Amino acid sequence: MSKSFYITTTLPYVNAEPHIGFALELVQADIIARVKRLHGDVFFNTGTDEHGLKVYRAAEAVNLPPQEYVNGFAERYLELQKRLNVTTDAFLRTTSSAHIVAAQELWRRCSKDIEKRGFKGLYCVGCEAFVKENDLIDGKCTDHNTVPEIVEEENWFFKVSNEYKSKILTYLKQASVIIPESRRLEAIDFVKNGFGDFSVSRPKERLPWGIPVPGDDSQVMYVWFDALTNYISTLGWPAEGRHFNRFWQEGETVQLAGKDQVRFQSLMWQVMLLSAKIKLTDKVVYHGHITSEGRKMSKSIGNVVNPFDLIDEYGTDAVRYFLGRHINPFADSDFTLERFKEAYHSGLANGLGNLISRVMKMAQDNLIQIPTTPDHTISAEFWNLLDNFEFNKATDLIWQEITMLDQKIQTTEPFKLVKIDREQGVKLISELVVDLYTIARMLSPIMPETSTMIKDLIKTNRAPEKPIFPRKD
Ligand SMILES: [Zn+2]
């Protein structure tokens, strides 16, 4: 029996509309979830991170109570999932009562490592983190281009002992725990140079919007301590029932995150798990950022592409296609509408869409019998690439097949042949249909609706009535 498989996105902050960078993470996780479901049980988690100073201030700015404010955004993130056709098993909101119970319980289990101290530091609200003077340029956070606030207060601190550091280093020495390799080296470097005690609470008077610290009414949890707990609270933890044991303790666990999250996902969260005596994450995969003219696309900067608009105009599978094939899974990629349109026309309107129409028109006009479609014609290389999160290379393989099929039609001209030598012509067309069916099977994790549609056309021997990917001139 194969291992149970757990995959999760990060939980986005709900202080603005969903952007294309989070759509990327959802689609990547969904592709993997769909592949893994072919072999066993999968739990696919996502949700929304709803506490913290950034959210509190955004709610204040529009004069809404924070809960009401986050409810509206949670709806939008749920809507995005539906529009992207992602097959999640849970949508975890950090303001849900089950999650609050879990975060407080995790705090209790870590409490031997948590102590209260006076503290003075520089705080970037954009990062929701204390920042070091060394990391600033002209006194400003490089990600947010803002001057951090000076904060002097009492906080609870999580103590990162030398013993923990050495255990985390041992964990990070396993090549499989972080993809890509450059992020793993970065994580090791963080542990060796600067991973130390970190603050895990805020005074309630400065931040009323958070989960109360157990046993200290004056403090609420640091939003990261709270939010990271979602990865297990979604499985019903602290109840060690069916889901938690099966998917986290005994299953294979994968977290997806943006490349700027290495400290949080691979260090902070792992040391919290160590302290609570819970299994560490098997693998964290870091994707690059989607940039806009070379700058990070982010809510704080305001250069955001709205994924809903793209889906409205081009359709769900076109957006999934672009994110799968034309965004580098690990390095930054620039997004422009021109690039998107060009990829849509060459890959979908003229490429896949045109191929489906040509093959199925010939099939509809000439085939009496629907050809038998074999199950085992996809190369191991394709599955290996997906197993290694190389979405772009895996999708390229499908498009190589599409190009080969186009060339086959061009050189053999079955539409002419069938008029001269009916038997040979029908044989060729049947072969093309079988090849198209294999393409449909390869497309299923990446473009699921298109995959199903091709299979339906083949099973009913019909050509599509109108172009599947109409040109947008
Ligand atoms: Zn910042």
User: Could you list which residues have their CB under 5 Å from ion ligand 1?
Assistant: 124, 126-127, 141, 143-144
The domain limits of the chain are 5-296, 337-460
| pLDDT for position 1 | 58
52 contacts 26 by C-beta, under 8 angstroms: no
Express each pLDDT in 268-306 by its tens digit.
Answer: 999 999 999 999 999 999 999 999 878 777 666 777 789
- The CB-side HSE value for 52 (13 A sphere, CA atoms) comes to 27
Residue 214 CA to ligand 1 center (angstroms) comes to 29
How far, CA to CA in Å, does 150 sit from each of 90, 124, 214? 38, 9, 27
- Tokens coding 83: 């529009």
Express each pLDDT in 113-133 by its tens digit.
Answer: 999 999 888 999 888 888 988
| pLDDT for position 54 | 87
- Tokens coding 236: 């019903």
Hey, which of 197-211, 233-247, 271-285 has the most confident mean pLDDT?
271-285
Q: What CATH number was assigned to the domain covering residues 5-296?
A: 3.40.50.620
Residue 24 CA to ligand 1 center (angstroms) comes to 22
Residue 408 CA to ligand 1 center (angstroms) comes to 54
Whole-number Å distance between alpha carbons of 274 and 453: 47
Per CATH, which fold does 337-460 belong to? Isoleucyl-tRNA Synthetase; Domain 1 (1.10.730)
Least confident of 13-17, 180-184, 271-275: 13-17
Sheet-wide strand order for 42-48: 90-93, 42-48, 5-8, 252-258, 283-287, 178-179
Residue 299 CA to ligand 1 center (angstroms) comes to 12
What amino acid is encoded at 432 in this protein?
Answer: L
For 409-421, what is the mean pLDDT?
Answer: 96
Question: 333-337 long-range CB contacts below 8 Å, 24 or more apart?
Answer: 333/288, 333/290, 333/291, 334/290, 334/291, 334/292, 334/293, 334/294, 335/20, 335/290, 335/291, 335/292, 335/297, 335/305, 336/292, 336/293
Residue 363 CA to ligand 1 center (angstroms) comes to 58
